[in-house]
Amino acid sequence: MERQFHARQRWQSQRGHLPTRRLSAIIAGLKTEPENTMKLGLIPINIGFADPAPMIGLAQAAEAAGFESVWTFEHVIVPLDYASKYPYNDSGKMGAAPETPFIDPLLALTAIAMATKTIRLGTGVNILSQVNPLLMAKQVASLDVLSGGRFMLGVGIGWLREEFDAMGVPFERRGARFDDYVAAMRKVWSGNVVEHESEFLHWSGFKSYPVPLQQPMPVIMGGNKGRIYERIARLGNGWYVPGTDPSVIRAQLAELRATCDRVGRDFSEIEITSMWGNVKDPASLDALAAAGVHRAVVPLMALGPEPMAGIARIGKEVIAAR
């Protein structure tokens, strides 16, 4: 947190003073939460809307109710049929028809940033392995600046081969490509001359501005397969756990802690986010906190047919009461 504050001071001295609205948002984001306070988020904020007004209205309502963050889902396409297996339910299929509107996460969060003041903005998650990492780095830095330092980049390696095929990107070696992309994007965000030579990228002799207001830029890893623990320990600022069971999460965090010890990473630097599906039972939130979760994200569908009322209820009965 102290590093973020000094980084903000350096950025101001180099680039001039920020508008008061953005500066206030940064300072609000840097305030230290009491250790017993669970942050609450809302997801997905960008799906099912053909009109931006309801999306922005939900984000504003969440901010007013005391939610800490709103989050997006991402798919560029939804195939009519696919052989790939969705890894997070027994059916192997994601719960979205091909006609479901997925507003691009970075564009959705930019629109929300312009209509809110303090609520943080996260992608939960974007598929980094299938996009151009230089363009992604530019978009991330720009969104962080436009939002006054409120953006969190949640990223994953992806599971839907058919989407990679449509994007013209190899599905194979997506994990290695992901790791390389994160390391390379951090060089872009540093503001220094970028030199990065790898199997996947050949970057040399350039800078890219603006840089993110947050230093380091928060990169949150999603998923629970493969080399996820090592990936988080070496490259991540947080983990978006795709689960809700506190006992499972506790065991997973023990593995992550062991991996951090092995690679020399301070486990306490890693922020843990999970879903909170049982929103009618506040005790389940306490169980997540006891397991080591710092942020619980409420699925929009868990709020029932009147999400605005559900947001207000959680604000009054859960957030205000804690």
- Tell me the per-residue pLDDT of 250-285, one tens digit each, with 9 for 90 and over: 999 999 999 999 999 999 999 999 999 899 898 999
- Tell me the per-residue pLDDT of 55-110, one tens digit each, with 9 for 90 and over: 999 999 999 999 999 999 999 999 999 999 999 999 999 999 999 999 999 999 99
The average confidence (pLDDT) of the chain is: 91
Q: What pLDDT shows up at residue 10?
A: 41
What token pair was written down for 152?
A: 């969190």
**67 with 311: CB under 8 angstroms?**
yes
How far is the C-alpha of 215 from the C-alpha of 289, rounded, in Å? 26
- Tell me the per-residue pLDDT of 205-243, one tens digit each, with 9 for 90 and over: 999 999 999 999 999 999 999 999 999 999 999 999 999
319 burial (CB, 10 Å; 0-12 / 13-18 / 19+) is middle
CATH for the stretch 2-319: 3.20.20.30
Asked whether the predicted pLDDT for residue 171 surpasses 70, the reply is yes
Classified as helix, coil or strand, 317 is helix
Q: What pLDDT shows up at residue 277?
A: 86
What token pair was written down for 60?
A: 């504003």
What token pair was written down for 216?
A: 């380091």
Q: One-letter amino acid identity for 75?
A: H
Classified as helix, coil or strand, 133 is helix
Give the up-direction half-sphere exposure of residue 212: CA atoms within 13 A in the CB hemisphere.
27
Asked whether the predicted pLDDT for residue 25 surpasses 60, the reply is no
**226 with 173: CB under 8 angstroms?**
no
Report which of residues 300 and 4 the model is more confident about.
Answer: 300
Q: What are the residue ranges of helices labelled H in 84-126?
A: 105-115
pLDDT confidence bin for 157, thresholds 50/70/90: very high
Asked whether the predicted pLDDT for residue 184 surpasses 80, the reply is yes
Asked whether the predicted pLDDT for residue 22 surpasses 70, the reply is no
How far is the C-alpha of 108 from the C-alpha of 126, rounded, in Å? 13
How far is the C-alpha of 42 from the C-alpha of 306, rounded, in Å? 14
pLDDT confidence bin for 23, thresholds 50/70/90: very low
What token pair was written down for 59?
A: 């984000």
Q: Which residue's structure tokens are 């691009």?
A: 104
